[in-house]
Amino acid sequence: MNDFPSTFHAAVQRMFDVRDQVVVVTGAASGLGLAMAEIMAECGARVVLTDVNPAALEGAANRLRNAGLQAFSMELDVASAEQVDRVFERIEREHGAINTVFANAGIGTGGNLWSKEGKLESFSRDDWKKVIAINLEGVFWTMQAAARAMRPRRAGSIIVTASTAGLRAEPIVGYAYIAAKAAVVNLVRQAALDLAPFGVRVNAIAPGPFNTNIGGPGPRPAHVVEAFHRTVPLGRWAEPHEIQGLALFLASPAASFVTGGVYAIDGGALALSQCDAQDLEQDQWSE
């Protein structure tokens, strides 16, 4: 097998060079946020991991630091606009200009269409408020703080974790989650128009089924996993590290002309017209 040409590594490094970037990742204690933080740190960025769970956050940051990477941690509840502002101001004081922000924090609280509590007339108002506060308002506060940091410097990249549930109906998730993710998609498009004249790019990643704890910790029933595998053309859920290539691309010079986009990473699930209800437990749809 022939070696790569001598120019290969230099070209790849130039396109994907994020060395010494200051990167902020919300919801970084586990799952997709941790995977995003990890790839950016592995490529030489100075990464500030934020999360509402201080113990898990410190464990994640220590994992990266123990690997010799530049990783820092700051506790953050994105549902608090004031706290978001304070943390971003502190990051700029301690680390300098913010180059990239991953607005990733999110939760999956609330019943889905297969549960009685997930029906429209029964959906918990408390669950609605909690999910909207984090998955929509928290994303907005994060984007707002990022824009304040980036617009005056006329450079930066904001990357939002949306969902395929924001692009079509998905009965596996609840009303609040699907409403928030749909709203986030248009927030990204609007912000891209707003910030483009200032050289700030805004894009969204729309994950499909990933093996994370957003739906709750612990193993899922085998028959449920098997059923959902049949709704993904690639035949499986993704692992968190499989988000890393797209995350790095959107943060890097390789994406210098990319803004206002929503990029699905879903194993082909959106290519299906809808989730095949015949593959799922029909009695879960009953009252």
What amino acid positions are annotated as catalytic residues?
Answer: 177
CB atoms within 10 A of CB 258: 16
- What residue type is 51 in one-letter code? D
Let me know: does 92 contact 153? Beta carbons within 8 Å. no
Let me know: does 255 contact 150? Beta carbons within 8 Å. no
Q: Give the single-character DSSP code of 5.
A: P
Return the half-sphere exposure (C-beta side, CA atoms, 13 A cut-off) of residue 200. 29
Cα R_g (the chain), whole angstroms: 19
Token pair listed for 152: 């005056």
Distance CA 122, CA 5 (A): 62
CB atoms within 10 A of CB 183: 18
Coil, helix or strand at residue 126? helix
Q: Give the single-character DSSP code of 252.
A: S
Distance CA 59, CA 55 (A): 6
Backbone angles phi, psi at 242, to 5 degrees: -75, -5
Name the burial class of residue 225, with classes exposed (0-12), middle (13-18) and buried (19+) by CB atoms within 10 angstroms of its CB: middle
